[in-house]
Structure 1
Amino acid sequence: MLDVLDVLDVLDVIEAIDAVDWGAVPGRPGWYEPARAAGGLRALARAANLVEAAEAHSMLSGGGLTHGHSAAVFPAAVVAAPLLLDIARTGRPAVRDTALGLLDEALSSFPHAGYTRVTTPHGTAVPVCCALAHHLRARADRLAGLGGRGRSLLVDAAGHWRFEIRECVADGGGTAVFGTLAGRFPDGVHAAELHIPGEIAVLGEVALEYPPAKGSPEACLRVAGRYPDELPPGAVLFPAECGERVH
């Protein structure tokens, strides 16, 4: 049974759900169903037991936020991520586990061709998985307090890193790039997408030169075969493999 505080939280979440024009959120026609996204989120926010949470999950994973049978994710999942995180904190175990499970499904699924990127404060063509990871990192403290599943989501989100360039210095046959790192840059050399307004380029060889100090996002990457004027301040790097994810 919901107490007064839970009721107020639910009403706030439902108001936020209703404020979204789910029909205007892009998604592959015939697969994405805006009514399932809105209705499933409302149902999950109101759910009081395992059966009701399961019914909401069926709507959301059956064309609302994901298509579970084919492991596809829709851009609507990015819009819904903060709402699911708010729903997860209500304290009802079945609802919390369902919300976190949907976020896990969304992060691990691939989007359909033509619907692989979304607009975020970090760019107009950010891979869906990276946009989801941003929402998870933004609520890291909340997720960490939701038990093992919340902490596991944070570990998975860390792999969808983002690096914002502040300044560059020529260094031999490449460039040392200083800026802020969100997430975890993997060991070794990797390809990355360079996002400049109106343009995306692929950098073939990027490696972590200096990792961030504990508690600081400041880091240095080394980009081979590129000059500083090709890596302007304010540009953003994302994993190239995330940009290649397509159902």
Structure 2
Amino acid sequence: MGWDDAVVLEAIEAVNWGDLPGPVDLYEPGRVATGLRALATASGLVQAADAGSLLADGGLVHDHSGAVFPAAVTAAPILLAIVRDGHPGAGATALGLLDDALAFAASDRRTRVVTSYAEAVPICCALADHLRGAAGLLAVSGAEGRQLLAEAAHHWRFDVQETVAEEDGVAAFGVLAGRFPGGKQRADLHRAGHVPPLVVQVAPHYPLSGHSPDACLRVDGARLDGVAPSVVLLPSGCGSGAADR
């Protein structure tokens, strides 16, 4: 290997992949650790392809059925580390797995995962967070990396930091990640300890800036105590194949 893979291997071993949920007829947790270890240590195209086959056939995704598993979210930082430092063939395989996971997740209305900011986040939105966090890496990872960033932008996220009551709802000031489609949109309002999220209508209160993540969205018909700081808004179309493109 041309890089120190010890940290990545430790990250793989630190997860009990069998504890993560997934359909018993498709998800094979034994493939995850084996496939990720093989991908992290691959020194050629054949080894990378073999590892990718393990992960694509019941490990992180199931190609034949178009399914994606919560393990893909947990594995995303590991795959991105392989893109950054692994063998070029392994990096290309990791990008392909991330691409499949995001594409499959966009049509999966059932599966949600726990994140640091909400208890029931669609897999596509959770993956998009990881991809945006590696924007610099993906921007220099060829056409597939740039395409992943473009797809992640559809899965926008708005973190509420301050709110003001208005006659017809709440003006929420906060930070926007990704690309808000514009106009009035249905959004999932995630509050700590509340599952499932509340569906609301939101729209830009002021014109959005392409140069700053700071934004203000109007939450129609909401009460001030329902849109408190730490609330997170995500597009309702995510996880149903209906996200606004």
TM-score of the two chains, using structure 2 as the length reference: 0.90
Q: Are 2:161 and 1:201 aligned? A: no
CA drift of 1:208 comes to 2.1
CA drift of 1:187 comes to 1.9
Structure 1 unaligned regions, length at least 5:
none
Which residue, 18, 21, 25 being the options, matches 1:30?
25
Whether the aligned pair in 2 keeps the contact of 1:13 and 1:86 (CA below 8 Å) is: yes
Report the equivalent of 1:140. 135
Which residue, 74, 85, 89 being the options, matches 1:90?
85
Q: Are 2:145 and 1:150 aligned? A: yes
Higher-strand-fraction structure:
1
Whether the aligned pair in 2 keeps the contact of 1:36 and 1:63 (CA below 8 Å) is: yes
Report the equivalent of 1:233. 229
Q: What RMSD in Å do the two structures reach over aligned CA positions?
A: 2.0
User: How far apart in 2 are the matches of 1:197 and 1:243?
Assistant: 20
Whether the aligned pair in 1 keeps the contact of 2:41 and 2:86 (CA below 8 Å) is: no
Which residue, 48, 72, 75 being the options, matches 1:77?
72
Which residue, 95, 114, 119 being the options, matches 1:124?
119
1:24–1:112 distance in 2 versus 1, CA, 3 Å: farther
Q: How many residues align?
A: 239
Q: What's the secondary structure of 1:223's corresponding residue? A: strand
TM-score of the two chains, using structure 1 as the length reference: 0.89
User: How far apart in 1 are the matches of 2:27 and 2:167?
Assistant: 49
Q: What's the secondary structure of 1:63's corresponding residue? A: coil
AA paired with 2:221?
G
AA paired with 2:198?
A
Whether the aligned pair in 2 keeps the contact of 1:66 and 1:105 (CA below 8 Å) is: yes
User: How far apart in 1 are the matches of 2:6 and 2:165?
Assistant: 54
State which drifts further: 23-32 or 214-223: 214-223
Kindly provide the CA deviation profile for residues 175-201 of structure 1, in whole angstroms up to 9, marking residues without a partner as x. 221111111111222100011122221
Q: Are 2:154 and 1:159 aligned? A: yes
User: How far apart in 1 are the matches of 2:185 and 2:212?
Assistant: 22
AA paired with 1:102?
L
1:122–1:245 distance in 2 versus 1, CA, 3 Å: farther
Q: What's the secondary structure of 1:180's corresponding residue? A: strand
Q: Are 2:173 and 1:210 aligned? A: no
1:211–1:90 distance in 2 versus 1, CA, 3 Å: farther
1:102–1:233 distance in 2 versus 1, CA, 3 Å: same
